[in-house]
Amino acid sequence: MGCTYSVYGLGRKKKLSIPEVVVFVPSMRIPAQCDLQRALKGLIPRDLIDRLTCLRNRIALVAEDTGGSAITELRQALEEYLAILIGLTKKENGVEDSVEFKWKNLEDDRQETSVANAWFELLSVIHMMAMLTLSEADSLMIPKDYSGSGFRVVSTDCKRDAVDLLLKAAGYLEFCVRNVLSRIPAEIKKSLSKDLQEGVLEAISIQALGQGTEIQLGLAVESQKATLSVKRRLACEQLIYFSQAYQCLSGCDLNQGYGKKHMWFIKWKFLESKAAAYYYHGLVLDKGNEPSSHVSAVCCFLAAQELLVESKKACISFCLAAPVTRAPPLWGVMKHLNQKIPEVASRKSQMYGYLLEQEKALQSLPELPDFQLSLRPDDYELPAIDSAWDSEKWENQSQPLKEHLKDCEEEIETE
């Protein structure tokens, strides 16, 4: 996500392209140049060093050349690289802190992080896999063709595939928080880039579940079989997810990079989901026979209307926050609710206006019901370690760390 430029002819001005966002994808981080050959010489077999170097360089080149759009090729290279990289994290191999790994922001080369820790490299690889998965989900929700009505047409299959990808991305990020960050020393964690903070990773994982629920709610709205209770439950669950994501971000340093834009996205989606939750809760309450039920329902509809207005303001703030983006045309449940909420709020207020006057003491916003969350991140496990780490070449080609350091010192003196 971010601004990209393209040149259409020699000497002509660059054309600004403002990307559209459905699924929020923080800026992607990619490998930067580092000397694996020199750092690992004599510590592990030469063929392992060559494979690590080749795959890492391939990931960096493909990401730079395609802007991260070659998702299938990058994912394959990352998975191959990960299987070999795991060997560097094993304490028995004694090379966990031997390489100073460097990563940079795809859109801003100045944002570079350099850490001498193999777990940091593993964290960065899985984080990149998560960002690629979110990008793929985003692309599924932004088809190139539009209907004659001017509204976006996204097939049901694409929506379901997008939900699967969101759960997969959430699984990657949950694994990073639970199984990788805990292996990185506290002093190193402090030096990590802002987008690798624990709270940020948790927020993205949870909001992916929230967006998956948003898509499911849109599918329920389109289905004649989905009951009003199901729609209310999904809207309330979506609200809970974005509430949790907001709490995760509240303790993070968001002054750099995508931090402020990320927070605006959470606020936007939080307000949208709260508007939906109150709307559907109001419809359920309105089915009651008591005057108090109708009064509570009207309070819900009016609250939903106010929240809808605030969500539109938050959407504009998100789009204008750097880097500038644009929101998609109305889709899913919000396409439906942008029409229904004002209409129902106005009609029900007029219908039960006399009750609102008579029952002023009851005019308080009812609490939303609490539901058990349905979506969970997919379980993720590291791939099996590459068989090359078990080869007989290991003992034949390795040498003690002291000798390796001595070789490095001699090379420096020679230079």
Residue 162: which of 93, 209, 107 has the closest Cα? 209
> What's the rounded Cα separation, in Å, for the pair 402 and 233?
62
Work out the number of other CB atoms within 10 angstroms of the CB of residue 354: 10
Say whether pLDDT at 16 is over 80. no
What pLDDT does residue 400 have?
A: 47
Q: Are 56 and 116 in contact (CB under 8 A)?
A: no
Q: Which residues contact 124 (CB under 8 A, 6 or more apart)?
A: 29, 31, 101, 103, 196
DSSP string, 272-303: HHHHHHHHHHHHHHTTSSSHHHHHHHHHHHHH
- Edge-to-edge strands, sheet with 29-31: 29-31, 101-105, 108-115
Average pLDDT, the chain: 86
Q: Tell me, what amino acid is at 277?
A: A
Is 0.75 surpassed by the pTM of this model?
yes
> What's the rounded Cα separation, in Å, for the pair 227 and 29?
43
Residue 101: which of 81, 119, 126 has the closest Cα? 119
Say whether pLDDT at 212 is over 90. yes
pLDDT one-digit tens code per residue, 257-308? 678 899 999 999 999 999 999 999 999 999 988 878 888 899 999 999 999 9
Q: Tell me, what amino acid is at 170?
A: A
DSSP string, 114-151: EE--HHHHHHHHHHHHHHHHHHHHHHHTS-S-B-TTSS
Taking the alpha carbons at both ends of the chain, their separation in whole angstroms is 43
Task: Check for a shared fold between 22-142+155-181 and 197-373.
Answer: yes
Tell me the domain boundaries of the chain: 22-142+155-181, 197-373
Q: Which residues contact 60 (CB under 8 A, 6 or more apart)?
A: 30, 31, 32, 33
What pLDDT does residue 7 have?
A: 33
Work out the number of other CB atoms within 10 angstroms of the CB of residue 387: 8
Residue 128: which of 198, 167, 76 has the closest Cα? 76
| Residue in this structure with the two tokens 């929230």, named with its chain if needed | 210
Q: 120-148 in b/e burial notation, b at 16+ Cβ within 10 A?
A: bbbbbbbbbbbbbbbbbbbbbbbeeeeee
Per-residue tokens: 400: 């003690």
Q: Are 285 and 296 in contact (CB under 8 A)?
A: yes
| Average pLDDT estimate for 352-377 | 79
What pLDDT does residue 288 have?
A: 86
> What's the rounded Cα separation, in Å, for the pair 241 and 213?
9
Work out the number of other CB atoms within 10 angstroms of the CB of residue 365: 12
Q: Are 26 and 258 in contact (CB under 8 A)?
A: yes
Q: What is the CATH class of 197-373?
A: mainly alpha
Q: Are 314 and 267 in contact (CB under 8 A)?
A: yes
Residue 99: which of 114, 79, 87 has the closest Cα? 114
| Residue in this structure with the two tokens 């795809």, named with its chain if needed | 106
pLDDT one-digit tens code per residue, 56-114? 999 999 999 998 889 999 999 999 999 999 999 998 888 999 999 999 988 876 678 89
pLDDT one-digit tens code per residue, 224-256? 999 999 999 999 999 999 999 999 998 888 776
The continuous run of DSSP H or E covering 325 comes out as none
Enter the CATH code of domain 22-142+155-181.
1.25.40.280
